């Protein structure tokens, strides 16, 4: 049995596990459980309403990121439910996909909660994927890349179709969740380091922890399909993947400049751009492709495994601590 191209509707027997790594991702996902309401937004609301707590640059950056993420989360959710689950037939991999889909629902809920708390106009935030060109370009790039897989008559029979499906997986797991989310993560966490919008900061930390698992699962899934269908991974396809990642880096850098044109707290858009290159190299390595940029990590604090469950309870009103030791290695 392989991870794709078996019966899609058999009541699949999950035991014995054929891909124990997929089972591990499921358990890690469950161990990381959280909900947005556990995070207090009180300080954020005060800062957002105050005339002086945030600069225009900081406000722009927050709006851009809420605008991008609020709709990007639903694109990934659609892809899992409408495409990936349909074509990945192995039961333990599907069990993880169900967990991932739930996490995307939690992320969607986070942006509803943020909009509500700050009193933002949903029309503005949820239309930014249309009104802000650098957001539109990122979403359109992924959607365009994965279009043929959404055709209801699409099947993963034969090398060309398997390649198409792997292109879809790279589009969502590696480019959307693995590159297009990361300038935004870095911006919001940079703000948080200055004690600004700490509620949103903490929520982004939780989202980033979830996304790092999604990305890692996606890479293992892609690498498994490659190993089981080695004929698809030829030079032409590898070159195409590297080219797609280069194009994605350009779009993410454009977004970083657009969301943060004046720089922030001594960090300029150039630094965010370097960070995107550093992240892209790590994604290429994960797919066993050569690095392109060799850029150093300008934000070592982004890769420190921060333990979310420590040193919070005394001063903040956290309801529960679900975390029971899942992976905290974030990028």
Catalytic residues: 113
Neighbours of 74 (CB within 10 A): 17
Residue 209 lies near Mn ion (rule: CB under 5 A) = no
Name the DSSP letter for residue 149.
G
- Closest distance between Mn ion and the C-beta of residue 76, in Å? 5
Which of 64, 172 has the CB closer to Mn ion? 172
Q: Which does 24 bind (CB under 5 to 8 A by kind): Fe ion, Mn ion, none?
A: none
Which of 48-56, 83-91, 102-110, 255-263 is the region at the interface with Fe ion (rule: CB under 5 A)?
102-110
Q: Write down the least CB distance from residue 273 to Mn ion, Å.
A: 23
For the residues of 233-255, what is the DSSP string, one character each?
--HHHHHHHHHHHHHHHHHHHHH
Binding mask 52-91 for Mn ion (x = CB under 5 A): ------------------------x---------------
How far apart are alpha carbons 54 and 254 in whole angstroms?
23
Q: Spell out where the chain has E strands.
A: none
By CB under 5 A, residue 164 contacts Mn ion:
no
- For CA atoms 313, 315, 318, 323, give the dihedral sign: negative
Query: How far apart, in whole angstroms, are the C-alpha atoms of residue 169 and residue 190?
Result: 29
Query: 88 - beta bridge partners?
Result: 4
Q: Rounded distance, CA 26 to CA 14, Å? A: 13
Mapped onto helix, strand or coil, the DSSP state of residue 282 is: helix
Choosing from 107, 138, 164, 286, the residue that interacts with Fe ion (CB under 5 A) is 107
Nearer to Fe ion, 233 or 255 (CB): 255
Binders of Fe ion among 68-97, rule CB under 5 A? 73
For tokens 């349909």, the residue is 86
The site partner of 220 among Mn ion, Fe ion, none (C-beta below 5 to 8 Å per kind) is: none
Instruction: Give the nearest residue (CB) to Fe ion.
Output: 107
Shortest distance, CB of residue 177 to Mn ion, whole angstroms? 5
For tokens 């005394």, the residue is 314
Give the nearer residue to Mn ion in terms of CB position, either 107 or 271: 107
Cα torsion 291, 165, 27, 68: sign: positive
Cβ-based nearer residue to Fe ion, 215 or 264: 215
Report the alpha-carbon distance of residue 26 to residue 225 in Å, rounded: 19
Nearer to Fe ion, 24 or 177 (CB): 177
Q: Closest distance between Mn ion and the C-beta of residue 81, in Å?
A: 12
| Angle, helices 20-31/91-118, rounded to nearest 10 degrees | 20
Interface with Mn ion (CB under 5 A), residue from 209, 214, 271, 283: 214
- Which of 122-130, 204-212, 269-277, 317-325 is the region at the interface with Mn ion (rule: CB under 5 A)? 204-212
| Count of residues in contact with Fe ion, rule CB under 5 A | 3
Residue nearest to Mn ion (CB): 214
Q: Which does 44 bind (CB under 5 to 8 A by kind): Fe ion, Mn ion, none?
A: none
For the record, the structure tokens of 206 come out as: 């939780």
Which among 90, 79, 86, 82 is positioned nearest to 22, based on CA atoms? 90
Taking the complex as a whole, how short is the minimal distance between the CB of residue 104 and Fe ion, in angstroms? Answer: 5
Interface with Fe ion (CB under 5 A): 73, 104, 107
Interface with Mn ion (CB under 5 A): 76, 177, 211, 214
């Amino acid at each position: 049995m392989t991870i794709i191209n078996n019966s899609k509707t058999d009541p699949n027997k999950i035991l014995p596990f054929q891909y124990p790594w997929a089972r591990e991702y499921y358990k890690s996902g469950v161990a990381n459980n959280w909900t947005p309401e556990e995070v207090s937004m009180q300080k954020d609301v005060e800062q957002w309403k105050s005339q002086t707590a945030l600069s225009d640059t900081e406000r722009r950056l927050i709006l851009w990121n809420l605008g991008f993420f609020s709709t990007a989360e639903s694109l990934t959710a659609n892809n899992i439910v409408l495409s990936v689950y349909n074509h990945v037939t192995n039961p333990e991999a599907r069990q993880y996909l169900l967990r991932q889909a739930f996490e995307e629902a939690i992320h969607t809920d986070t942006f509803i909660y943020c909009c509500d708390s700050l009193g933002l106009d949903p029309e503005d935030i949820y239309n930014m994927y249309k009104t802000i060109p650098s957001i539109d370009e990122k979403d359109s790039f992924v959607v365009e890349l994965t279009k043929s897989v959404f055709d209801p008559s699409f099947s993963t029979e034969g090398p060309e179709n398997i390649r198409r499906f792997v292109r879809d997986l790279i589009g969502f797991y590696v480019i959307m969740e693995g590159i297009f989310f990361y300038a935004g993560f870095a911006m919001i966490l940079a703000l948080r380091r200055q004690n600004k919008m700490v509620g949103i900061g903490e929520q982004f930390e939780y989202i980033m922890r979830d996304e790092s698992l999604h990305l890692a699962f996606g890479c293992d899934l892609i690498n498994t399909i490659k190993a089981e269908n080695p004929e698809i991974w030829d030079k032409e396809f590898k070159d195409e993947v590297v080219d797609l990642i280069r194009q994605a880096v350009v779009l993410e850098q454009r977004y970083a400049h657009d969301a943060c044109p004046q720089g922030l707290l001594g960090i300029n858009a150039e630094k965010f751009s370097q960070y995107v290159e550093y992240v892209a190299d790590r994604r290429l390595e994960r797919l066993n492709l050569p690095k392109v940029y060799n850029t150093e990590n300008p934000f070592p604090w982004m890769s420190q495994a921060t333990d979310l469950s420590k040193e919070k309870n005394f001063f903040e009103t956290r309801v529960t601590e679900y975390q029971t030791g899942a992976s905290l290695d974030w990028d």
